A and B are shown apart, each in its own frame.
Chain A
Amino acid sequence: MTRSTRDAPAPSAASEPSEPPEPTEPPEPTEPTGADGAPPVSGPPGGPRTLLSWARNTWRGLVSMRTALVLLFLLAVAALPGALLPQRSLNPAKITEYRDQHPWLGPLLDRLGFFDVFASPWFAAIYLLLFVSLIGCLTPRTLEYARACRARPVVTPRNLFRLPHHASALVDGPPEQALEQVRSRLRGWRVREEPDGAGGYTVSAEKGYLREAGNLVFHLALVGLLIGFAVGKLFGYEGQVIVLTGGNQFCNSGILGYDSFKAGNLVDGTSLNQFCVKVDTFNAQYLPNGQPDHYEAAIGYQAGADLAAGSDGPWRPYQLKVNSPLRVAGDRVYLLGHGYAPTFTVTFPDGTARTQTIQWKPADQSTMLSEGATKFDRPGLADEASRRQNQIAVTGLLAPTSSGGKVITSVFPALLHPEVAVDVVRGDLGLDDGRGQSIFEVSQAQLESGALKRVARQNLQPGEQIRLDDGTTVRFDSVTQWVDLQISHDPAEDFVLVFAVLILLGLGTSLTIKRRRFWAKIRPAQAPADQGRTVMEIGGLARTDQAGYGEEFGRLRAALLGAAGADESENTNTSRPDGGPRDRGGSA
């Protein structure tokens, strides 16, 4: 996660390691302009040079860590209204409510895009700037990392005792033997050995290159994720449709088949993935307290070659459940909801009868008390005016398990004792005035204007009927279940998943692997008493914010120097805040 110079080569390995100097960009050698946005000392004001340096300084400012920090913070703050205010994509009705309650603030927020936060220009501006900053920072770092991977470890500092971890001891055997010891201990490290010109050797070693790789993978995968997200939003679609059980079908052939349809900007609805779904039965199980326990719809589907056979052709069965969508032809079919559709038969005085089954919508999800309107056109009337005066609608409430009594309500969501409480209205339903009308209610305007009159109000159980003044009867026959299906298409879903996994892997790598250095100086002992022995000095430096290097260094020290080196190092370690004996392991 580090984007500053934390991981960049320190000017001198032996300088204060816990606080490396901070300039986010090394100053350009050919240009007197500093990285801190200072104006250039040369060049006429307002000339192309000024413009150029202004552009460069802006760019540097944009890709700096501080800017990234500010943009990240802005991103978090800007996303918050998306959770606190009603959002158009989730619940448009709530926005109307909010606007009514806040007549001054509501429209203002709406104009500023606060009800579409994640589609608003200001939110886009923040994350696009953030990603520009990210790419501007990543590109040089990737190149630098590629160079660093080929580069040899840095030379051994002159004074190892200025490092946070260090020790020295006199070991037995000639320098070559000690060198061999060091070599065998540094398997898996990148090692550079050099003779010091006086019969000894210096060894510098470095490990943990994968940290930066993980860091880069993480950030690049974020870019990939954003692209995948955008592709999904541009080419994806999502539509809902209510299908009655009992073998009714839905075919994904065009957007007109849907009750509601949300398409990406590049979807015109002409080339949806072809498949058909047939809903046979729906089964809901409830706990005694009415809480739903299980939903399951038995459906059949056709795709590909099966489609040619038509609706009589083979239907592949599938049990559609809440957590197991049907994945077919590149689309997904979800079971989103369910409800009841009462069947009414209207028998007109001339003996003609019309039967309809139309979905009513649940008004109360816990008891499935439903409301709706079933609308009839009287047949056999050629005259347009009298046809309009004789339309009939049955509207009211449906209780799947009725409480009984004069005013009914539903006491249980399952279909145990269905009963409807309905008004029958007659007149002009207003279906021909060119305006869209909800299928769940009759036009309130028509009722108020008197064009539509209530002619009966009654509670009905299945089989019961109402007789109107003109001899028309309205019979409540039965109740059918319907299911609410959602069909979703997102071509980039797998792409996004791959990048999400890469994000996780990159993050794990960059936060667990530590970049660390180790040095050893081996030279023949000078004192005559120690002929044939070797002085070994070792030093270590963890180059990342989270050190935790103490334990590993301790093991190296014990292996290379034995007990002789241990004491000295222990003393220095306890005095360092960064590498004491408590400093074990990576994470707490």
Chain B
Amino acid sequence: MPVNATLATYSDYAFHSAVGIYLLAMLLHLGEYARTRVPAALARVRVPAGAPAIADAASAATDVTPADPTAAPGPAAGPAASADQPGRPWRERFGRMAVALTVLGALVQIGSVATRGFAVGRWPWGNMYEFISAVCLMAVLTWLYVLRRSPAIRPLGAFVLLPVEVLLFLAGSALYVRPAPVMPALQSYWLTIHVTAVSLASGLLMVSGVASVLYLLRRYSRAGWLDVLPAADALDRVAYRVTIFAFPLYTFAIICGAIWAEAAWGRFWGWDPKETVAFVVWVVYACYLHARSTAGWRTGGAAWINVCGLAAVLFNLFFINLVTTGLHSYAGVG
């Protein structure tokens, strides 16, 4: 199957655009944090100066608070600022822009994945670059879905996009491979089923892991900027709900992998390094679900286990593909 170079180039452009858009979205999410303090500080400066209202209409919402300069405008601050008024607080604006950009980034990345697939005439998860791109896309889509279900967790966005950015950057630089057909062992419809399920489950687990990391931060740290984050129990709930969806999916992915391995490698399970770590990941998440119903482990302990699970997923993605040699060494690098 010849590679369509034009489409492949478009795919790379779209990939880089998506990385840029996500980066911008992440910065805007960070703006959400910065703005929680800055307006209050500005207000403190302005009051003694007795300056009249600044021409910048957008800061009007924060300008009404000088009576109590210590009060940072929280999510409920500015009840007067209804959905479409220009007076909406900056924080809100940044957050909304970030989400809009995330949606745009996801669309562009879908375009990148699709054109890559058309360019090589196969399902586009045949090497590590393509796989990481798929995992990150799934993570972003999961994030957007979760956000739609519970809009209040929006400040989490920066922390979901952070690992996505890091992974995409690595995929696009060190791990990038030119589009090409895959080796005979990967030429199977199971590639579509198994790898789609794995990448979706990994994307979900990434979101869940990030939620648990922040839950632990929120629970054990008193740092001021954390106040912007959703409440600890909301974070914990997001982590749990995403995981109970991801766990059966991950199980399905492993079973599909075993069926494929039976057809390609002669056995359904052979403790190949990737299989072994997949088993470890599965057991860690089984631990998590059990911890959720064990007294004393329900919250803090379970969250730590979830973080271990995320570490295991990432370990499986990088270490096993790049360092050890096994049947899953399809990274196409080195």
Contacts and interface: CB of A to CB of B under 8 A. Distances in A.
A and B associate: yes
Interface of A: 1-4, 6, 22, 65-66, 68-69, 72-73, 75-76, 79-80, 82-84, 87, 89-90, 117-118, 229, 238, 287, 289, 291-295, 321-325, 332, 334, 336, 486, 488, 490, 493, 496-497, 500-501, 503-504, 507-508, 511, 545-546, 577, 582, 584-588
B38 interface: no
A3 B290 contact: yes
Given A72-B287, A75-B283, A90 B326 contact: yes
A588 B238 contact: yes
Nearest to A76: B283
Given A66-B294, A287-B181, A497-B259, 14 more contacts: A2-B293, A69-B287, A69-B291, A72-B290, A80-B276, A82-B276, A90-B271, A293-B184, A294-B187, A490-B267, A493-B268, A507-B247, A545-B240, A587-B245
A interface secondary structure, majority:
mixed
A587 B244 contact: yes
B interface secondary structure, majority:
helix
A76 B180 contact: no
B99 to A, nearest CB: 16
Contact of B187 (A87, A323, A497, A545): A323
Contacts of A79: 276, 279-280, 283
Contacts of A72: 283, 286-287, 290
A508 B233 CA distance: 25
Contacts of A488: 266-267
Interface string B309-320: 000100000001
Cβ-closest 4 pairs across A and B: A22-B295, A588-B241, A2-B293, A83-B276
The bracket for how many chain B residues form the interface is 35 or more
B293 A73 contact: no
B290 A118 contact: no
Interface string B223-242: 00000000001000110111
B255 A504 contact: yes
10 contacts: A1-B290, A2-B292, A3-B290, A69-B297, A76-B280, A76-B287, A80-B277, A117-B271, A504-B255, A577-B233
Interface string B270-284: 111110110110011
B297 to A, nearest CB: 7
Contact of A323 (B264, B271, B287, B320): B264
Contacts of A336: 266
Interface stretch (B13-21, B103-111, B145-153): B145-153
B251 A504 contact: yes
Nearest to B189: A323
Nearest to B326: A90
A35 to B, nearest CB: 13
A66 B291 CA distance: 8
B268 A496 contact: yes
B47 interface: no
A289 B179 CA distance: 13
A449 B180 CA distance: 51
Given A65-B294, A504-B251, A588 B280 contact: no
B144 to A, nearest CB: 12
A69 B302 CA distance: 11
Contacts of A504: 248, 251-252, 255
B264 A322 contact: yes
Contacts of B149: 582, 584-585, 588
Contact of A83 (B241, B258, B294, B324): B324
A230 to B, nearest CB: 12
B53 interface: no
B200 to A, nearest CB: 13
B259 to A, nearest CB: 7
Contact of B293 (A289, A545, A585): A545
B5 interface: no
B58 interface: no
B252 to A, nearest CB: 6
Interface string B151-191: 01000000000000000000000000000110111011010
A323 B185 contact: yes
Contact of A546 (B241, B258, B264): B241
Given A291-B180, A507-B248, A73 B287 contact: yes
Contacts of B274: 83
Nearest to A222: B286
A332 B261 CA distance: 13
Contacts of A324: 263
Nearest to A334: B266
Nearest to B325: A91
A17 B320 CA distance: 44
B269 interface: yes
Contacts of B184: 292-295, 321-323
